[in-house]
């Protein structure tokens, strides 16, 4: 018995009951209670679905209450803010029809259909395909979902191909693009036509084919993915960073000098770093790099920018445990944020050694300039452009 058993009749009734009474960590008690009234197998499926919907709120917001999920489908699905951004970029072109190869539970089908695109999903697993079909219907959106293999699908009837290759094997996340399924050779073949392929943000720059734009996307300061755009969707630049929810985007990396620390240190958003566009932050704040190999920018003045978080430098400190412990004690620091780049340290372990117990808060930035590790006592600046 699968998720489709919950769509109507007794299954829909038990799902409604499970969702109404679901509390995280209380699944066993809920199963025991509902089994007094409903079929045991239906109850197990319904409570599992209620738990998945609860988890899905982080990705899908209020939509999660009306959607159906499989564990693997939810794990791989894109959060709505990111998929909506992608769908809007496609809808702004002349593209009309889209085929989603390996559509999973249909999250991307939903956002693309909402954007006015005509969508077809292809999914190898029949149960997951049924879930995707149900999710489109839940929002009364047009589109079809076919059971089939991505590599065997004829994509020629469609204006665009979207693909989200599986990045998990044996229950573990796969970081090597050569281990994707479908394989990387299939992905690069898709990118010879008009396509968008979702890949992990750690994709090496040299793996991206010529004439393809790689767009690294973060949401609320967290890097979520890279999207590869080709054909009619190519934006004319090899690399781009886009920061949601505000939508700030940068694609140019001007040259930048390096020099001594100024009054402010800027930590570029992770998408900017992944895209190799750190010098764009230097240009935005009229600053320079602390070190040409490290992704920290510094400047003499504070300039709000959505591309980076800003910290006011209060004091340069010796990078020695004894000196840092004395600083923490003297300043009465109880809440200590530790940021680091270019140095081999575990912030959690260092924080434990420094033993902050006071009532004030501070930020410690530890980095490397040349061969030397340096530390700065800082205060986070919260400006109008700070998206965190």
Instruction: Write out the two tokens for 16.
Output: 């409604």
Same domain, 215 and 272: no
> Total structural domains in the chain?
3
Residue 253 is assigned to a structural domain of this protein: no
CA distances from 241 to 100, 215, 220, 277, 288 (A): 24, 6, 13, 8, 19
Residue 254 is assigned to a structural domain of this protein: no
Q: Are residues 34 and 14 in contact, defined by beta-carbon separation less than 8 angstroms?
A: yes
Containing 35, the helix (H) or strand (E) segment is none
Same domain, 61 and 79: no
Using alpha carbons, select from 97, 140, 138, 139 the residue that is nearest to residue 121: 97
pLDDT tens-digit map of 32-47: 999 999 999 999 999 9
Instruction: Tell me the sheet residues that pair with 145.
Output: 121
Last residue of a domain, one of 215, 244, 273: 244
d(CA 326, CA 320): 10
Q: Residue 387: which pLDDT band, with cuts at 50, 70 and 90? A: very low
Residue 233 is assigned to a structural domain of this protein: yes
Using alpha carbons, select from 93, 98, 77 the residue that is nearest to residue 141: 98
Residue 164 pLDDT greater than 80, yes or no: yes
In which residue are the tokens 């109404």 written?
A: 20
d(CA 178, CA 172): 15
Same domain, 236 and 273: no
Euclidean distance between the first and final Cα of the chain, in Å? Answer: 43
Average pLDDT for 56-73:
95
Q: Residue 174: which pLDDT band, with cuts at 50, 70 and 90? A: low
Residue 324 is assigned to a structural domain of this protein: yes
Output the domain CATH number for residue 215: 3.40.50.150
Same domain, 268 and 208: no
Instruction: Encode 188-213 in three state secondary structure.
Output: HHHCCCCEEEEECCCCCHHHCCCCCE
Residue 366 is assigned to a structural domain of this protein: yes
Q: Residue 285: which pLDDT band, with cuts at 50, 70 and 90? A: very high
Any idea what the Cα angle at residue 74 is, between residues 72 and 77, rounded to 5°?
105
Q: Which of helix, strand or coil describes residue 341?
A: strand
Quote the pTM value: 0.91
Q: Are residues 297 and 290 in contact, defined by beta-carbon separation less than 8 angstroms?
A: yes
Q: Name 170's Cβ contacts closer than 8 Å, sequence gap at least 6.
A: none
281 lies in which domain range?
264-381
In which residue are the tokens 């004091």 written?
A: 315
Q: Are residues 322 and 350 in contact, defined by beta-carbon separation less than 8 angstroms?
A: no
Per-residue model confidence (pLDDT) at position 132 = 96
Using alpha carbons, select from 96, 187, 190, 182 the residue that is nearest to residue 143: 96
In which residue are the tokens 């989603």 written?
A: 100
DSSP state of 258: B
Using alpha carbons, select from 285, 281, 283 the residue that is nearest to residue 270: 281
Tally: H helices and E strands in the chain? 12, 18
- Average pLDDT of the residues of the chain: 94
Last residue of a domain, one of 49, 67, 85: 67
Last residue of a domain, one of 244, 273, 308: 244
CA distances from 26 to 30, 47, 69, 349 (A): 6, 10, 20, 33
Q: Name 56's Cβ contacts closer than 8 Å, sequence gap at least 6.
A: 64, 67, 69, 74, 77
d(CA 152, CA 192): 17
Residue 122 is assigned to a structural domain of this protein: yes
Question: What's the longest Cα–Cα distance across the chain?
Answer: 71
pLDDT tens-digit map of 107-157: 999 999 999 999 999 999 999 999 999 999 999 999 999 999 999 999 999
Containing 240, the helix (H) or strand (E) segment is strand 239-244
CA 372 to chain centre: 33
Q: Name 111's Cβ contacts closer than 8 Å, sequence gap at least 6.
A: 80, 83, 84, 86, 87
Average pLDDT for 292-307:
97
Residue 255 is assigned to a structural domain of this protein: no
Same domain, 117 and 175: yes
Per-residue model confidence (pLDDT) at position 388 = 40
Same domain, 140 and 58: no
| Residues found in the chain | 388
Average pLDDT for 269-276:
98
Same domain, 234 and 216: yes
Average pLDDT for 336-353:
96
Same domain, 363 and 311: yes
Same domain, 124 and 239: yes
Same domain, 97 and 197: yes
Using alpha carbons, select from 191, 253, 189, 266 the residue that is nearest to residue 226: 191
Same domain, 234 and 89: yes
Q: Are residues 239 and 275 in contact, defined by beta-carbon separation less than 8 angstroms?
A: yes
Residue 299 is assigned to a structural domain of this protein: yes
Same domain, 61 and 87: no
d(CA 377, CA 293): 22
pLDDT tens-digit map of 180-214: 888 999 999 999 999 999 999 999 999 999 999 99
Per-residue model confidence (pLDDT) at position 289 = 98
């Amino acid at each position: 018995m699968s998720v489709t058993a919950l769509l109507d009749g007794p299954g829909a009734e038990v799902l409604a009951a499970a969702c109404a009474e679901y509390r995280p960590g209380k699944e066993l008690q809920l199963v025991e209670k509902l089994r007094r009234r409903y079929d045991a197998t239906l109850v197990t499926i319904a409570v599992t679905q209620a738990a998945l919907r609860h988890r899905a709120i982080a990705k899908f917001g209020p939509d999660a209450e009306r959607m159906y999920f499989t564990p693997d489908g939810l794990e791989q699905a894109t959060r709505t803010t990111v998929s909506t951004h992608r769908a809007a970029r496609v809808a702004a072109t002349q593209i009309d029809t889209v085929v989603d190869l390996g559509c999973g539970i249909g999250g991307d089908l939903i956002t693309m259909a909402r954007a006015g695109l005509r969508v077809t999903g292809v999914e190898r697993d029949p149960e997951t395909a049924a879930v995707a079909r149900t999710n489109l219907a839940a929002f009364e959106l047009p589109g079809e979902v076919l059971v089939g293999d991505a590599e065997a699908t004829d994509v020629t009837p469609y204006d665009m191909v979207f693909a989200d290759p599986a990045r998990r094997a044996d229950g573990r996340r796969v970081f090597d693009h050569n281990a994707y399924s479908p394989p990387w050779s299939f992905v690069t073949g898709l990118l010879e036509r008009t396509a968008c392929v979702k890949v992990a943000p750690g994709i090496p720059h040299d793996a991206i084919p010529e004439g393809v734009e790689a767009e690294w996307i973060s949401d609320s300061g967290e890097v979520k993915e890279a999207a590869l755009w080709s054909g009619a969707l190519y934006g004319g630049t090899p690399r781009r960073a886009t920061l949601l929810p505000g939508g700030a985007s940068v694609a140019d990396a001007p040259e930048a000098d390096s020099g001594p620390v100024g009054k402010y240190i800027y930590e570029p958003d992770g998408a900017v770093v992944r895209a190799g566009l750190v010098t764009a932050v230097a240009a935005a704040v009229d600053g320079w790099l602390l070190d040409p190999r490290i992704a920290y920018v510094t400047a003499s003045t504070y300039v709000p920018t959505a591309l980076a978080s800003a910290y006011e430098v209060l004091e340069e400190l010796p990078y020695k445990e004894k000196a840092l412990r004395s600083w923490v004690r003297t300043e009465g620091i109880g809440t200590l944020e530790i940021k680091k780049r270019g140095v081999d340290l575990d912030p959690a372990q260092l924080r434990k050694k420094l033993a902050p117990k006071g009532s004030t808060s501070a930020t410690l930035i530890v980095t490397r300039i040349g061969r030397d590790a340096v530390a700065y006592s800082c205060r986070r600046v919260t400006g109008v452009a700070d998206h965190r």
